[in-house]
Amino acid sequence: MRITGIEIEQFGVWRDLSLTLDDGQLSVFYGPNEAGKSTLMRFIRGVLYGFREGERSRGRRGRRHESSVGMLTIEHEGELYEIRRASHDGSPGLVSVTSTGTERPGEEVLSELLHGTDEKLFESVFAFGLHELQELATLHEDDIAGHIYGSSLGPEGRRLLEISRKADRERVRLGGKSEESGRLQELLERESGLTKAVAEAGGKLVRHRDALAEQASCSENIASLKERQSGLHYQLRGHLFLERAFEPWNRIRENRAALEATPEVRSFPEDGLVRLDELDSELNSAVKCRDALLEEAEQFHDRAESISLDRQIEVHAATMQSFVDQREWVGELDERVRQAQQQHSELTVELERRREALGKEWADQRLAAVDTSPGAHIRLVRSARNYQRAGGRRARFRKRYDRLSDAYQLRLAEVEHAQEQLGEQSVDDAILETQRRLADVEELACLKIRESELKQRRFGIEQYLARMESRLPLPRWVYRMLGAFGVAGVILALVGVYAGLTTSVWGGLGYAFLALTLWIGSWALKTHFESDVRETIDELEDEMFSSDARLRETREAIVRFAGGKQSTDDEEGSESVLIAETVRRLSELEQLADLSRRVDGRRRRLSGMRARFQSMQREVNTVRQSWCELLKQFGLPETIRVDEAFETWQQVVEADALRLQAENVRQHLNTHADDLQSFQRRIEELGRRMDREDGGEKSPLDVLKRWETALRDFFEGRHRRRQLEGTEQSRRNEARVYQASIDEIKLKRSALLVQGGAATAEEFGQRALWADERIALEDAIAEANDELELAARTEPELAIVEEDLATFNNEENCECIRTINLELEDVELDLECGFEQLGRLKQEIATLESDRTSARLRFDREQVRAELRRAAVEWFGLELADQAFERIRESFEKTCQPKTLAGASQHLESLSCGRHRNIWTPLGKRLLYVDDEQQRSLRVEDLSGGAREQLFLAIRMAMVDDFAARGVELPFVLDDVLVNFDQLRTEAAVKTLLELVGRRQQVLFFTCHLHLAHLFESKGVEPIWLPSHNPPMQERRAG
């Protein structure tokens, strides 16, 4: 696949860009920084795989989801494709593929052209810039790393890797890792521990006797401690009971004394004091509200009497209001008159200025004579548009003709060069000769395939024939069954003879018939099986004879096609290589024939375009003459410049519009002035009736403003007076309601005092205090009694003694409790230690009595020593095997590297001018090493920045070669990847790229460095000079 043209309608900074790539495989694009090179590279990737979100609006601030539309022209296998993609809503875009040879959906055709590659692979291998080139991570994707490091190690590599991993696992198992112990260390530790245990196994009998004596002493000590603990618990319960019972007993005694000292109050009302306070508060509040309302009513009455109203205004208020309501209209009318006068003056001045700009000859009569109607403007615009379109079509057609002529000259040179290589033989004759050779090679391959099939068929027939011959004899059980049938037939025959002689002839005949049936059945069954097998064997022998005859014929034909030579196993696969070379040669010749036809077609097309250009020139002359006649018809000066004619036309239209506008303004001014004078006369008439000196010496607006103020004051005064009178009446009604509430509250207060047995409020409060105190004391006595009963129920074994409670001292009791608790803690600690010691002694005695470990320890020690010797022997064997494996591994890594790295080594040697000669990877690892000219192996991290970039570029070039060998043909796109190379290595890189192009690989190189463009130019590659960014609708061309 080769890109032959780039058309960008809109993408990033590019608008209407059209680039035609040369027929050569290398295209160099030059432009300064911010010229749009990276945008052009992203456009190629976007058309092939879809536009990305975020890059479509790059370079346009504040604009989101900008449209991205463009097309790539692709040449693939001699056929042209136009791949167009458009995105208007931020999506990857819709793709369409146009070709004369296909009608399939665009996505399907595009996937076939891209050979199923995805965008990640394209960016990592085929299209990248300096940033991607410097990163090793882009080459570590699974599918890409598989191409670099080899997807398979081969059977020998897999066996070596498996042996290495198995040996490492065994070595780790025996020796261990830094954080884990291995088998050898574990065995050594076990042997040391067992040796110490054997030494410690003696002298346990003495320890058993001492342990029994200690057990008896410990048991007696525990019994005495338990007895002492029980006595301390009983004493503690007594002291705690006294402490708990004393407090409620003391409260009961004190509260009973206070209750006897408090006077008794009978039938006192519940919450009486609170109710009395509420009634006093309500009474005071009601009295204050009543007095305040009466005072406010008097104030509102005085304020209402102080407001006075004008009698004349009250009589003519409606008429005055009607005039005041028209004040806004009068103001607008007065403003219109003033504005109309000012506008008329301005229009007159502007009209005179426009006349002077047009010239002295443009008087009112000439302005009025010019047709400025929309129809005339449309005619003028249509004529100008036709004139401009004719000129634009001629210019675009001329550019198109020049571009096609340049492309025709390039293709013609390519055809002549190819014809020189063919010599005197024509392209069609070369194609026919190559097709005949391809047919012969294909026939030879088919004959060899047929020979192989016949051999396999003959072998299968022989095997099947051998199996059938083994099945020819019947099984033994069949013979036994047939023998049984024969014996049964003889017996039945004898029985039939006997029956015929003794009983009946017909019975004898029946037995004889049955015997005959058994004999005939046995013979028929044997004959049937043997005849079927024999027939099958005969058929197989006939078929094998026929296969041998066809095999001999096929071999004779192979000898004829091979030129009298017998084919051997060493020539296996040569036919496929010969077919591939013949097909490639045939494809090149067909492309050359197609190119010749297209060159002839373009020559005829250029001839027709020259005639069409002459016709366009005549059309431009005709349209120009019509344009000048229309200007003369409209009274405008003749000119071929459309902008100048429209400028004069616009000035004439504006001047005529000003003249008409001034006339209309003058008519409106007279009408508004008459209406204003009529309204002023009506106002003067009403002023005379009201005996008001508002006179004609003032303007109507001032009079209406004064009347509006007077009416507003009159209405506000009348409204305030009515509000005050209503408020006065409302306050007096509220005061009467409060007076009734005061009388009711006084009655309730007197009844409450009588119920409490008091004459005054002070006496009522004292009686309420006595009643509350007695109730509180009775509740406290009941609560203390409940606590005392609860304490007695918790300790039923202890009795409450009045004398003990009377003589109770809390400090002494607390000191006793603290002392007892300390003694209990000491006893519990002693018991805990005693029980622990007793359990430990019992366990030790039991262990000593059941100990049989001495012999077992010695046996285990010998077992561990034997296993230790075996592990040591295995360890030394693994170490020797590891040394041998390392030598084998080094030899394998030098001779069995992946194909991609082998190709990359050649490219790297060319790029580095022989300084770095080999790239290799360790077995089973994804690491890269580079051998320099001194045979030193360097890691990627140890290389300089420039050498690392050369390494990554060489790997990608090798991957491109690998993909091309498998039929994946995609352009190789580079964005300024040589900027860090020195002059010598830059020239070597250019030479390497030209060699890559020589293998029919298309390369697109983008750069912003002028010296690189000149370097390619010196090598015979004409750079494409990217244009500057003009307005979006202007057509752009490169080169």
CATH of the domain at 80: 3.40.50.300
Contact residues for 250 (Cβ-Cβ < 8 A; gap 6+): 805
Number of domains in the chain: 7
The mean pLDDT value for 817-842 works out to 85
Cα(415)–Cα(408) distance, rounded to whole angstroms?
11
Contact indicator for 267, 758 with CB cutoff of 8 Å: no
Within this chain, do residues 801 and 838 fall inside the same structural domain, yes or no? yes
Within this chain, do residues 431 and 544 fall inside the same structural domain, yes or no? yes
Within this chain, do residues 435 and 566 fall inside the same structural domain, yes or no? yes
Q: Does residue 1033 surpass a pLDDT of 50?
A: no
The mean pLDDT value for 921-942 works out to 77
Cα(884)–Cα(886) distance, rounded to whole angstroms?
5
Lowest-pLDDT choice from 61-75, 497-511, 669-683, 772-786: 497-511
As a dihedral over the C-alpha atoms of residue 167, residue 170, residue 176, residue 179, rounded to 10 degrees, the angle is: 70
The mean pLDDT value for 591-598 works out to 78
Cα(875)–Cα(869) distance, rounded to whole angstroms?
10
187 assigned to some structural domain: yes
0.85 cut: is pTM over it? no
Within this chain, do residues 813 and 841 fall inside the same structural domain, yes or no? yes
How is residue 446 written in tokens?
Answer: 């088919």
Cα(150)–Cα(148) distance, rounded to whole angstroms?
6
683 assigned to some structural domain: yes
The mean pLDDT value for 258-277 works out to 74
The mean pLDDT value for 223-228 works out to 84
24 phi, psi to nearest 5 deg: -65, 160
What is the pLDDT confidence band of residue 776, given thresholds at 50, 70 and 90?
Answer: confident
Sign of CA dihedral 141, 145, 151, 154: negative
Q: Per-residue pLDDT tens for 615-658? A: 888 887 888 778 787 777 776 767 777 777 777 777 777 777 77
- DSSP assignment string, 411-428: HHHHHHHHHHHHTTS-HH
Within this chain, do residues 491 and 478 fall inside the same structural domain, yes or no? yes
The mean pLDDT value for 204-226 works out to 79
Measured CA to CA in angstroms, residue 486 lies from 171, 512, 513, 516, 523 at distances of 77, 13, 13, 9, 9
834 assigned to some structural domain: yes
Count other C-beta atoms under 10 Å from residue 121's C-beta.
20
Q: Does residue 783 surpass a pLDDT of 80?
A: yes
- Structural domain of 255: 204-264+774-848
What integer best gives the mean pLDDT of the chain? 75
- Burial of 973 by CB count in 10 Å (0-12 exposed, 13-18 middle, 19+ buried)? buried
519 assigned to some structural domain: yes
Number of H helices, E strands in the chain: 28, 14
Provide the pLDDT for residue 4.
86
895 assigned to some structural domain: no
Within this chain, do residues 568 and 457 fall inside the same structural domain, yes or no? yes
The mean pLDDT value for 785-795 works out to 76
134 assigned to some structural domain: no
Provide the pLDDT for residue 59.
44
Q: Per-residue pLDDT tens for 554-587? A: 667 666 655 544 554 444 456 667 777 777 777 7
Within this chain, do residues 735 and 805 fall inside the same structural domain, yes or no? no
The radius of gyration computed from the CA coordinates of the chain, to the nearest angstrom, equals 62
Within this chain, do residues 466 and 504 fall inside the same structural domain, yes or no? yes
893 assigned to some structural domain: no
The mean pLDDT value for 186-198 works out to 78
Contact indicator for 1009, 979 with CB cutoff of 8 Å: yes
As a dihedral over the C-alpha atoms of residue 595, residue 596, residue 600, residue 602, rounded to 10 degrees, the angle is: 20
Provide the pLDDT for residue 521.
66
What is the pLDDT confidence band of residue 1038, given thresholds at 50, 70 and 90?
Answer: very low
Provide the pLDDT for residue 1035.
37
Provide the pLDDT for residue 999.
83
What is the pLDDT confidence band of residue 867, given thresholds at 50, 70 and 90?
Answer: confident
Show which of 689, 707, 728 is a domain's final residue. Answer: 689
Within this chain, do residues 21 and 57 fall inside the same structural domain, yes or no? yes
571 or 347, higher pLDDT: 347
The mean pLDDT value for 65-69 works out to 76
Provide the pLDDT for residue 866.
85
948 assigned to some structural domain: no
Q: What is the 3-state secondary structure (H, E, C) of 915-935?
A: CEEEEECCCCCCCCEEEECCC
The mean pLDDT value for 380-408 works out to 80
Contact indicator for 928, 904 with CB cutoff of 8 Å: no
Cα(336)–Cα(339) distance, rounded to whole angstroms?
5
Show which of 538, 572, 606 is a domain's final residue. Answer: 572
Within this chain, do residues 465 and 539 fall inside the same structural domain, yes or no? yes
The mean pLDDT value for 976-985 works out to 85
Q: Does residue 330 surpass a pLDDT of 80?
A: no
Q: Does residue 1011 surpass a pLDDT of 60?
A: yes
Provide the pLDDT for residue 1025.
86
Within this chain, do residues 66 and 2 fall inside the same structural domain, yes or no? yes
Q: Does residue 695 surpass a pLDDT of 60?
A: no
What is the pLDDT confidence band of residue 240, given thresholds at 50, 70 and 90?
Answer: confident
3-class secondary structure, 463: helix
How is residue 591 written in tokens?
Answer: 């492309």
Within this chain, do residues 411 and 534 fall inside the same structural domain, yes or no? no
Contact indicator for 816, 808 with CB cutoff of 8 Å: no
Q: Per-residue pLDDT tens for 870-923? A: 877 877 777 777 777 667 666 666 666 677 777 888 888 888 888 887 887 776
Percent of the chain with pLDDT over 70: 74
* CATH number, domain with residue 259: 1.10.287
How is residue 174 written in tokens?
Answer: 């025996």
Cα(318)–Cα(310) distance, rounded to whole angstroms?
14
Provide the pLDDT for residue 629.
78
* Direct distance between the N- and C-terminal alpha carbons of the chain, in angstroms, rounded to an integer: 23
Show which of 530, 553, 572 is a domain's final residue. Answer: 572
Q: For 176, what's the count of Cα atoms within 13 Å in the CB-facing half-sphere?
A: 10
16 phi, psi to nearest 5 deg: 55, 50
